[in-house]
Amino acid sequence: MLTAMPEQHHILGEDAFGSFTYETRNEIVSVGVKAPPYTDHTRTRSRNAWLFPDNGAGQLRGNFDCNTSIYTCFGAFRFTYVLPFEIVGLAGDLSITHGYSGNAQNIPFFGFDASYLNQSSSGGPNFYSGFWGATFPATSVLTITWVPGLWSTDDSAGFALNNLTVLTNQVVAVPAPGALALFATALGLLGIVGRRAAQSAQAGCGSGGVRPGLAGRSGPRLPPREAGGAG
The rounded Cα 137 to chain-centroid distance in angstroms is 13
With contact defined as beta carbons under 8 Å apart, do 91 and 34 qualify?
Answer: no
pLDDT at res. 77: 93
The closest alpha carbon to 134, from 88, 90, 87, 80, belongs to: 90
With contact defined as beta carbons under 8 Å apart, do 90 and 134 qualify?
Answer: yes
pLDDT at res. 189: 52
Any idea of the CA torsion for 184, 187, 189, 191, to the nearest 10 degrees?
A: -140
* Host H or E run for residue 213: none
pLDDT 10s digit of each residue in the chain, 231 long? 777 777 767 899 999 999 999 889 889 999 999 999 999 999 999 987 666 777 778 889 999 988 888 888 999 999 999 998 899 999 999 988 887 666 667 889 998 765 555 554 455 556 778 899 999 999 999 999 999 888 877 778 899 999 999 999 875 444 455 544 544 554 455 455 455 555 655 555 554 444 444 344 444 444 554 444 444
203-224 burial, b at 16+ Cβ within 10 Å, e below that, comes to eeeeeeeeeeeeeeeeeeeeee
Q: Is the peptide bond before 220 cis (omega within 30 degrees of 0)?
A: no
H helices of 155-229, in order, are 177-203
The closest alpha carbon to 89, from 132, 144, 135, belongs to: 135
pLDDT at res. 194: 55
Strand partners, 29: 45
* C-alpha–C-alpha distance, residues 67 and 152, integer Å: 8
**Amino acid present at 57:** A
Its pTM surpasses 0.85: no
With contact defined as beta carbons under 8 Å apart, do 34 and 70 qualify?
Answer: yes
pLDDT at res. 227: 47
With contact defined as beta carbons under 8 Å apart, do 64 and 160 qualify?
Answer: no
Q: Specify the pairing of strand 18-20 against strand 10-15.
A: antiparallel
* C-alpha–C-alpha distance, residues 67 and 48, integer Å: 9
* C-alpha–C-alpha distance, residues 79 and 130, integer Å: 22
pLDDT at res. 106: 85
Q: What are phi and psi of 198, to 5 degrees?
A: -65, -40
Strand partners, 144: 79
pLDDT at res. 8: 67
